[in-house]
Amino acid sequence: MTEQQKSIIKTLREQNFSYNAIAKAMGVTVATVKSYCQRSGLAGNRKEAFQSQSDTPLALPSFCRCCGKQLIQREKVKQRKFCSDECRVTWWNSHPEQVNRRNPHTGKCLCCGKEFTWYGPKPHKFCYHECYIKHRYEGVTHDTEAV
Protein backbone atom coordinates (compact mmCIF):
# COMPACT_ATOMS: atom_id res chain seq x y z
CA MET A 1 0.00 0.00 0.00
CA THR A 2 1.37 3.40 -0.98
CA GLU A 3 1.71 6.36 1.35
CA GLN A 4 -0.90 8.22 -0.70
CA GLN A 5 -3.41 5.40 -0.18
CA LYS A 6 -2.66 5.37 3.54
CA SER A 7 -3.31 9.10 3.83
CA ILE A 8 -6.56 8.77 1.86
CA ILE A 9 -7.77 5.97 4.16
CA LYS A 10 -6.86 8.02 7.21
CA THR A 11 -8.68 11.10 5.90
CA LEU A 12 -11.82 9.17 4.98
CA ARG A 13 -11.85 7.26 8.25
CA GLU A 14 -11.56 10.53 10.17
CA GLN A 15 -14.61 11.72 8.19
CA ASN A 16 -16.43 8.68 9.65
CA PHE A 17 -16.69 6.55 6.52
CA SER A 18 -17.05 2.80 6.95
CA TYR A 19 -14.48 0.20 5.91
CA ASN A 20 -16.79 -0.96 3.09
CA ALA A 21 -17.28 2.56 1.73
CA ILE A 22 -13.55 3.31 1.78
CA ALA A 23 -12.66 -0.01 0.14
CA LYS A 24 -15.22 0.52 -2.60
CA ALA A 25 -14.06 4.08 -3.27
CA MET A 26 -10.39 3.12 -3.46
CA GLY A 27 -10.73 -0.22 -5.23
CA VAL A 28 -9.03 -2.27 -2.51
CA THR A 29 -10.34 -5.06 -0.30
CA VAL A 30 -12.20 -4.40 2.93
CA ALA A 31 -9.62 -6.51 4.79
CA THR A 32 -6.83 -4.20 3.60
CA VAL A 33 -8.65 -1.10 4.85
CA LYS A 34 -9.64 -2.74 8.14
CA SER A 35 -6.15 -4.04 8.94
CA TYR A 36 -4.55 -0.67 8.15
CA CYS A 37 -7.09 1.13 10.35
CA GLN A 38 -6.53 -1.29 13.23
CA ARG A 39 -2.74 -0.89 12.99
CA SER A 40 -3.05 2.89 12.83
CA GLY A 41 -5.52 3.33 15.67
CA LEU A 42 -8.40 4.32 13.40
CA ALA A 43 -10.56 1.30 14.24
CA GLY A 44 -13.74 1.33 16.24
CA ASN A 45 -17.47 1.66 15.94
CA ARG A 46 -18.37 4.76 13.95
CA LYS A 47 -22.16 4.68 14.52
CA GLU A 48 -21.93 7.04 17.49
CA ALA A 49 -19.76 9.40 15.48
CA PHE A 50 -22.31 9.46 12.66
CA GLN A 51 -25.13 10.26 15.07
CA SER A 52 -23.24 13.04 16.81
CA GLN A 53 -21.82 14.61 13.67
CA SER A 54 -24.42 16.45 11.60
CA ASP A 55 -22.12 17.72 8.84
CA THR A 56 -21.14 14.36 7.37
CA PRO A 57 -20.37 14.46 3.65
CA LEU A 58 -23.20 13.40 1.37
CA ALA A 59 -21.10 11.54 -1.19
CA LEU A 60 -17.96 9.51 -0.80
CA PRO A 61 -15.12 10.84 -2.94
CA SER A 62 -13.77 8.51 -5.59
CA PHE A 63 -10.15 7.91 -6.51
CA CYS A 64 -8.26 6.74 -9.58
CA ARG A 65 -7.64 2.98 -9.43
CA CYS A 66 -4.13 3.40 -10.81
CA CYS A 67 -2.53 6.49 -9.28
CA GLY A 68 -4.94 7.29 -6.41
CA LYS A 69 -5.75 10.88 -7.45
CA GLN A 70 -9.16 12.12 -6.40
CA LEU A 71 -11.65 12.09 -9.27
CA ILE A 72 -14.23 14.77 -9.97
CA GLN A 73 -17.51 13.07 -10.81
CA ARG A 74 -20.22 14.78 -12.84
CA GLU A 75 -23.92 14.26 -12.34
CA LYS A 76 -25.92 12.16 -14.80
CA VAL A 77 -22.72 10.73 -16.31
CA LYS A 78 -21.19 7.30 -15.81
CA GLN A 79 -18.87 7.23 -12.80
CA ARG A 80 -15.20 7.56 -13.69
CA LYS A 81 -12.72 4.96 -12.43
CA PHE A 82 -9.51 6.45 -13.83
CA CYS A 83 -8.16 9.99 -14.09
CA SER A 84 -6.77 9.57 -17.62
CA ASP A 85 -6.43 7.15 -20.51
CA GLU A 86 -2.81 6.49 -19.51
CA CYS A 87 -3.89 5.36 -16.04
CA ARG A 88 -6.67 3.22 -17.51
CA VAL A 89 -4.31 1.42 -19.92
CA THR A 90 -1.63 1.00 -17.25
CA TRP A 91 -4.10 -0.49 -14.77
CA TRP A 92 -5.71 -2.89 -17.26
CA ASN A 93 -2.30 -4.06 -18.51
CA SER A 94 -1.19 -4.81 -14.94
CA HIS A 95 -4.49 -6.57 -14.02
CA PRO A 96 -5.26 -8.86 -17.00
CA GLU A 97 -7.18 -11.32 -14.81
CA GLN A 98 -9.88 -8.69 -14.21
CA VAL A 99 -10.48 -8.01 -17.90
CA ASN A 100 -13.95 -9.23 -18.85
CA ARG A 101 -13.47 -10.41 -22.41
CA ARG A 102 -16.41 -11.60 -24.46
CA ASN A 103 -16.58 -14.15 -27.27
CA PRO A 104 -13.38 -16.17 -26.85
CA HIS A 105 -12.59 -18.39 -29.86
CA THR A 106 -10.09 -21.22 -30.06
CA GLY A 107 -8.31 -22.55 -33.09
CA LYS A 108 -5.22 -24.38 -34.26
CA CYS A 109 -2.29 -22.49 -35.79
CA LEU A 110 -1.63 -23.42 -39.44
CA CYS A 111 2.12 -23.04 -38.95
CA CYS A 112 3.02 -24.62 -35.60
CA GLY A 113 -0.19 -26.54 -34.79
CA LYS A 114 -0.46 -25.00 -31.34
CA GLU A 115 -3.98 -24.35 -30.04
CA PHE A 116 -4.61 -20.67 -29.27
CA THR A 117 -7.40 -18.33 -28.17
CA TRP A 118 -8.44 -15.02 -29.71
CA TYR A 119 -11.16 -12.47 -29.06
CA GLY A 120 -13.29 -10.71 -31.61
CA PRO A 121 -15.42 -11.50 -34.64
CA LYS A 122 -12.76 -12.23 -37.31
CA PRO A 123 -11.28 -15.76 -37.50
CA HIS A 124 -7.54 -16.10 -36.95
CA LYS A 125 -5.31 -18.69 -38.62
CA PHE A 126 -2.02 -18.11 -36.78
CA CYS A 127 -1.12 -17.83 -33.10
CA TYR A 128 1.56 -15.15 -33.59
CA HIS A 129 2.79 -12.86 -36.34
CA GLU A 130 6.02 -14.88 -36.50
CA CYS A 131 4.02 -17.98 -37.46
CA TYR A 132 2.28 -16.02 -40.21
CA ILE A 133 5.65 -14.88 -41.58
CA LYS A 134 7.06 -18.43 -41.50
CA HIS A 135 3.99 -19.80 -43.29
CA ARG A 136 3.80 -16.99 -45.86
CA TYR A 137 7.45 -16.66 -46.84
CA GLU A 138 9.07 -19.95 -45.82
CA GLY A 139 6.18 -22.29 -46.55
CA VAL A 140 6.21 -23.86 -43.08
CA THR A 141 2.95 -25.76 -42.47
CA HIS A 142 1.88 -27.93 -39.57
CA ASP A 143 1.25 -31.53 -40.66
CA THR A 144 -2.07 -32.43 -39.00
CA GLU A 145 -1.70 -36.20 -39.60
CA ALA A 146 1.69 -36.52 -37.91
CA VAL A 147 1.49 -36.44 -34.13
Q: What angle do CA 104, 110, 113 make, to 5 degrees?
A: 80
Q: Give mean pLDDT, residues 109-114.
A: 91
pLDDT above 70 for 17: yes
The residue ranges of every structural domain in the chain are 3-98, 104-138
Three-class DSSP category at 104: strand
The confidence score (pLDDT) of residue 27 equals 80
24-34 burial, b if ≥16 CB within 10 A, otherwise e?
ebbebeeebbb
pLDDT above 50 for 62: yes
End-to-end CA distance of the chain: 50
The confidence score (pLDDT) of residue 130 equals 93
Three-class DSSP category at 97: helix
Q: Between 143 and 32, whose confidence is greater?
A: 32
